[in-house]
Structure 1
Amino acid sequence: MALVRMTDLTDQRLNPYLKLTDHQLRNALESERGICICESEVAIRVALAEGVQPLSLLVEEQRLEGIQDLLAVWPKDIDVLVLPEGTSEQVCGYKLYRGVLSAMRRPEPLNITQLLDKVTDKLGNICLAVMDNLVDVSNVGALFRSAAALGIDGIIVAPTCADPLNRRSIRVSVGTVFQVPWARAGDNYPQGLIKELKTDGITLVSMALSNSAVSLRDPQLKQHKREAIFFGNERFGLSQEILKASDYLVEIPMEHGVDSLNVAASSAVIFWELCQ
């Protein structure tokens, strides 16, 4: 393992970590360069265990002692870039409160056919999640974390959905974006996806506030062995096209006049109820 103390903050080896708070710039640069930024020791360890290729590690000098467990498993041929104390904000745009960052090669994404082939070979129940135009990267990360914890087989991401490999999404997911198989739907979404799911005999379940929605407690929902659960945009919900194609519209029973939960909370409830 090579510890490289960065005395020159314009060193090109720091380029992957520049301006991490400029989200539009970062999204464009990371996709173009084929990298993602993994934040927090836990998420980095998960990524390494899942075979994600590291490019470098970034840490401030005073945090070195606290990441010895990570350094013990860090590849010996990959640089550890050590910043002088108090300079992370100058490089990254914010202080490294989580202590450590890693630039990593973005994993090669699955396509829908590959994902469905992977999960439909499984014996027993199959439960997929579909993220339809979620725009909050924290919600995306939280849904992945719930999916991993509660045994969801795979996740499908709409073309307009926020990037699961965004730095914040990776952090909130605690690295589970590298564990749960996922694919981004093609340009013919949602028609093409709906057709593929139905061809594979998968029941479409959409979370929606609707007069025609059934309760999550409805026993008929448990009768299906293959389900794909659609989660809509945080503000506008699911499109009419998806709602009309769904086999079930479902809502969570609530009390005290609360009409909805955000997708981070609702996904955990739904996964526990339908997919166990």
Structure 2
Amino acid sequence: MELLELTDADDPRLDDYRGLTDTALRRIAEPEGGLYIAESAKVIERAVVAGHRPRSVMVQRRWVDGIRSIMADHDVPVYVVPDAVAEAVAGFAVHRGALASMHRPALPSVASVVADARLVLILADIGDHANIGAAFRAAAGLGADAVLVSPGCADPLYRRSVRVSMGTVFQVPWTRMPDWKSSVDALRDEAIATTALALDERAVPLRDFVRERPERVALMMGSEGDGLSAEALALADHVVTIPMSGGVDSLNVASAAAVALWALGEE
């Protein structure tokens, strides 16, 4: 670890952290293999413990000691900056003191991620990064063994996703599905029943499904607006719904995932 004091917001060494509110700029800036940004000492530590490789750290002066202990064994530059520089570079107030530029690890295959899983969460075409993070946190806290994300799903390693998940994106095994058919085939090869949570005429109440649930289940959650696609529903072995009252037809996707994971994990 090399501590470097930087006071110029235009310093090119800070380019990994520049304009983080613009995802298009982030894509342009990423090196081969890609980067993601871990925010806060707690999240950075979880990423490092999970084996992810840091490229650099930008930290405000008062947070240096916490980062020093995390990065002590890593040969990376740690850029120590004034608060105003951190905000000018990132485009927002960096309240949690530190941002780390991390190399993205290679994603494993669907088959390897679900090989020993009893309960899998599938996130399909969910566009809100906060919902992705909250769903991962529910998966970690409620006993899911793995998470799969569809090709059109938002990035679990986007800064907001990681932050909302409280770093649990590094805790639960996950990967991105290359396509629906081959991924569902991989689940069926493992005798994992694909189970869609959807408002559909085939749907049975969650409590009824839980009573006779298959030994291994993959719970499919659809996007915030349109729900699961016709393709995903057609591939589902089962369709379940959470009965609602009070004139409400459904829950937020992360809340629904938490309810269903809790119910399935109880059996």
Regarding TM over 0.5, the answer is yes
Deviation at 1:31, TM superposition (A): 6.8
Alignment match, 1:161: 153
Kindly report structure 1 stretches of 4+ aligned residues shifted beyond 4 Å: 219-222
1:137 matched to 2:135? The reply is no
- Aligned pair in 2 of structure 1 residues 166, 219: CA closer, same or farther (>3 Å)? closer
TM-superposition CA deviations, 1:82-131 (whole Å, max 9, x none): 112312222111111222111111122112122233x25xxxxx011111
1:86-105 correspondence to structure 2 within 5 Å: 86-105=84-103
Alignment match, 1:269: 259
TM-superposition CA deviations, 1:231-263 (whole Å, max 9, x none): 101111111222232222111122211111111
Alignment match, 1:11: 11
Alignment match, 1:68: 65
Alignment match, 1:217: 207
1:34-183 correspondence to structure 2 within 5 Å: 34-61=34-61, 63-64=62-63, 68-76=65-73, 77-117=75-115, 119=116, 126-183=118-175
- Unaligned stretches of 5+ residues in structure 1: 121-125
- Aligned pair in 2 of structure 1 residues 216, 28: CA closer, same or farther (>3 Å)? farther
Q: Is the 8 A contact 2:9 2:86 kept in 1?
A: no
TM-score (normalizing by structure 1): 0.89
Q: Which residue of 240, 247, 251 corresponds with 1:257? A: 247
- Aligned pair in 2 of structure 1 residues 138, 28: CA closer, same or farther (>3 Å)? farther
Paired with 2:209 and 2:128, the residues of 1 have a C-alpha distance of 32
Matched letter for residue 225 of structure 2: R
Alignment match, 1:241: 231
Deviation at 1:221, TM superposition (A): 5.0
Deviation at 1:182, TM superposition (A): 0.9
Deviation at 1:28, TM superposition (A): 4.8
- Aligned pair in 2 of structure 1 residues 204, 85: CA closer, same or farther (>3 Å)? closer
What is the number of residues matched between the two proteins?
A: 265
1:25 matched to 2:15? The reply is no
Q: Is the 8 A contact 1:221 1:274 kept in 2?
A: no
SS for the counterpart of 1:253 is: coil
- Aligned pair in 2 of structure 1 residues 135, 31: CA closer, same or farther (>3 Å)? farther
Deviation at 1:54, TM superposition (A): 1.4
Alignment match, 2:198: 208
Deviation at 1:195, TM superposition (A): 2.1
Once the two structures are overlaid, the 10-residue window that deviates more, 230-239 or 48-57, is 48-57
Q: Is the 8 A contact 2:209 2:240 kept in 1?
A: no
Deviation at 1:20, TM superposition (A): 0.4
Paired with 1:149 and 1:222, the residues of 2 have a C-alpha distance of 23
SS for the counterpart of 2:140 is: helix
Deviation at 1:217, TM superposition (A): 0.8
Paired with 2:36 and 2:138, the residues of 1 have a C-alpha distance of 21
Matched letter for residue 50 of structure 2: E
- Aligned pair in 2 of structure 1 residues 201, 93: CA closer, same or farther (>3 Å)? same
Paired with 1:133 and 1:263, the residues of 2 have a C-alpha distance of 11
- Aligned pair in 2 of structure 1 residues 257, 3: CA closer, same or farther (>3 Å)? same
- Unaligned stretches of 5+ residues in structure 2: none
TM-superposition CA deviations, 1:137-193 (whole Å, max 9, x none): 11111111111111211111111111111111111111111111111111xx21222
Q: Is the 8 A contact 2:194 2:237 kept in 1?
A: yes
SS for the counterpart of 1:218 is: helix
- Aligned pair in 2 of structure 1 residues 31, 181: CA closer, same or farther (>3 Å)? farther
- Aligned pair in 2 of structure 1 residues 219, 239: CA closer, same or farther (>3 Å)? closer
